[in-house]
Structure 1
Amino acid sequence: MTTRGPRPLAVGDAVPEREHGPVTQTDIVRFAGAGGDFNPLHHDSTFTEKAGFDTVIAMGQMQAGMLAGWLTDWCGVEHLRELDVRFRAPVRLGAVLRFTGEVTALTELDGEPVAELVLRAAVGTDEVVRGTALVAQA
């Protein structure tokens, strides 16, 4: 078994951007099936219209999962120490998500050197998810 070592990181380093989308009804249904979230906001357009949305919306955990996957593709899941997300706005069908991130500090966690990152998922100029993460660093 081979493992990747942690990345050497510096304040200001950027995580390479990634885009995902457009978000489809199939994406939402597949995630609902995997996670068991069958809230009608995610699949019933009549319900969502009555709730004040113009279309169904994706569940927040779907964006959080995409954000985590993007981050760990870069740093290695074995080096992720903490991840925290906040949902800022709904994601609608057809949205294209752009993931960005930056190292904001270098510190320690339980004696291990880690980098603090700020992460974002945006649709156009609208931030839909903001996150922070700690990843092991070389």
Structure 2
Amino acid sequence: MTATVKYDEVEVGQEIPERTYPVKRLDLVKYAGASGDFNPIHWNENFAKSVGLPDVIAHGMYTMAEGGRFVTDWAGDPGAVIDYGVRFSSMVVVPDDEGAEIVISGKIEEKREDNTVVVALTARAAGEKVLTRAKATVRLA
């Protein structure tokens, strides 16, 4: 686990280095089992294409979860995130052979007096922004 980030060590405007999260079809099948969302657009290529999608797509909540993972990895404490929200702006297409990648970065947008910071996230896949208004409020040590 990453060392815990300290409130006194961060400033507004500070960038959080990007991380890349690979996505394979197997990850989507595992997520379907964990979430109970077995919609075939997330695992069946023929079905996904039959409804007009370019290929299998990742669950929106899977993509959102990777953003949460990014923040908790950075903070060094899974319990540090006290609020988190996003809007979905594009799909993460997951081809069978090469899979996909979600690239996430962050920036400290606000530093509050109660030892919390607001982190604005940027998440992209295949060059497209896949999450908008992605923000997490994080309580730091």
Residues 67/96 of structure 1: CA separation in 2 closer, same or farther (3 Å cut): same
Runs of at least 5 residues in structure 2 that lack an aligned partner in the other structure = none
**Partner Cα separation in structure 2 for residue 35 and residue 135 of structure 1:** 25
Give the counterpart letter for 2:80 in structure 1: H
Show the counterpart of 2:83.
82
Give the counterpart letter for 2:110 in structure 1: A
Q: Across the two proteins, how many residue pairs are aligned to each other?
A: 132
> What is the TM-score with the length of structure 1 in the denominator?
0.86
> What is the TM-score with the length of structure 2 in the denominator?
0.84
Give the counterpart letter for 1:102 in structure 2: K
Show the counterpart of 2:65.
65
**Partner Cα separation in structure 2 for residue 57 and residue 4 of structure 1:** 34
Measured against aligned partners, the alpha-carbon deviations of 1:50-80 in whole angstroms (never above 9, x if no partner) come to 2111211110111111111111011122321
**Partner Cα separation in structure 1 for residue 29 and residue 79 of structure 2:** 29
Query: Partner of 2:41: helix, strand, or coil?
Result: helix
| Alpha-carbon offset, residue 25 of structure 1 | 1.1
Query: Partner of 1:92: helix, strand, or coil?
Result: coil
Indicate conservation of the 8 Å contact 2:71/2:136, yes or no.
Answer: no
Indicate conservation of the 8 Å contact 1:28/1:59, yes or no.
Answer: yes
Query: Partner of 1:66: helix, strand, or coil?
Result: helix
Residues 86/6 of structure 1: CA separation in 2 closer, same or farther (3 Å cut): same
Query: Partner of 1:96: helix, strand, or coil?
Result: strand
1:1-138 equivalent positions in 2, closer than 5 A: 4=4, 6-8=6-8, 9-21=10-22, 23-75=23-75, 76-93=77-94, 94-108=99-113, 112-130=114-132, 131-137=134-140
Q: State the identity as a percent.
A: 30
Runs (4 or more) in structure 1 with deviation over 2 Å come to: 3-8
**Partner Cα separation in structure 1 for residue 17 and residue 50 of structure 2:** 39
Runs of at least 5 residues in structure 1 that lack an aligned partner in the other structure = none
Residues 57/18 of structure 1: CA separation in 2 closer, same or farther (3 Å cut): same
